[in-house]
Amino acid sequence: MSPGRKHQRVPCGVKVEFRSASAFLISYATNLSRGGMFLETTATLDAGTELALTIEVPGHGAVQVPARVAWTRAAELGGLRGMGLEFSEVAGEVGRVIDELVGAFEGVQVALLSRDGRSSVSVGRAIRAAIASAEIVEVTEVALLEAVCDDCELVIIDADSEADGGSRALAMVRSQNPPLPAIVLSAVSERRERAERAGAISLGIPPAAGELGKAALAALSQPIAVEVDDQKD
């Protein structure tokens, strides 16, 4: 290790990009601060691999965390394919970025599309229980949803209140660059399955106790891109 380098250079690198500073902050609160995180990716590394994890935070550049692959999971074993990372430390530069983000954090805006308003009270209560600073913006038309998307971090669609089962709304949300995370609520299994194929999280109506809040945290903290480089010089 060279005198000016804090950590030994490792042969592998993983780059994780978040959609927004708020998404990174939520991911830190739910994952990173506990010393690890799960990354959904088909390019998994062997358990025990030491790596340099680079985290891209919009507006704050890149921060690096030394990490190790604790375990991997194949899709055929159930669930999402990916790997669990264990961090050597999350202080230093990461701590500085966290301090800046906490000081500037103004909450998370969540858009709810529901034509009949039947979901508004229960959804608002569930989201605020998980994210105290969340602000719920209720809309009754897809056009109105599109108008507020730029200011939102998460969209929740009551698919059963839409004539097309929420297809047009979900397509619009997922077409954003980068795509907005979305949760689709429906009592119809086919609609939930279609939503999942489109990249959304789907839940039944009504969701089980605590289920919607957990889904919101999972959707908000999900990175938008994961790049694995096992040939790092």
Domains delineated in the chain:
12-104 (2.40.10.220), 109-219 (3.40.50.2300)
Chain centroid offset of residue 140 CA? 25
The Cα–Cα gap between 155 and 126 comes to 14
- Is the model's pTM score more than 0.85? no
Structure letter (DSSP) for residue 179: P
The Cα–Cα gap between 184 and 164 comes to 13
Q: How confident is the model at residue 5 (pLDDT cuts 50, 70, 90)?
A: very low
Q: How confident is the model over 15-32, as a mean pLDDT?
A: 87
Taking the C-alpha atoms of 58, 19, 228 and 39 in order, what is their torsion angle to the nearest 10 degrees? 130
Nearest to 134 by CA among 118, 114, 155, 116: 155
The Cα–Cα gap between 48 and 192 comes to 37
**With the C-alpha atoms ordered 77, 83, 87, 92, is the resulting torsion angle positive or negative?**
negative
Within the chain, what is the greatest distance between any pair of CA atoms? 65
Segment 167-200, tens digit of pLDDT? 999 999 999 988 899 999 999 999 999 999 999 9
Segment 42-70, tens digit of pLDDT? 888 899 999 888 989 888 888 888 889 99
Side chain identity, residue 215 = A
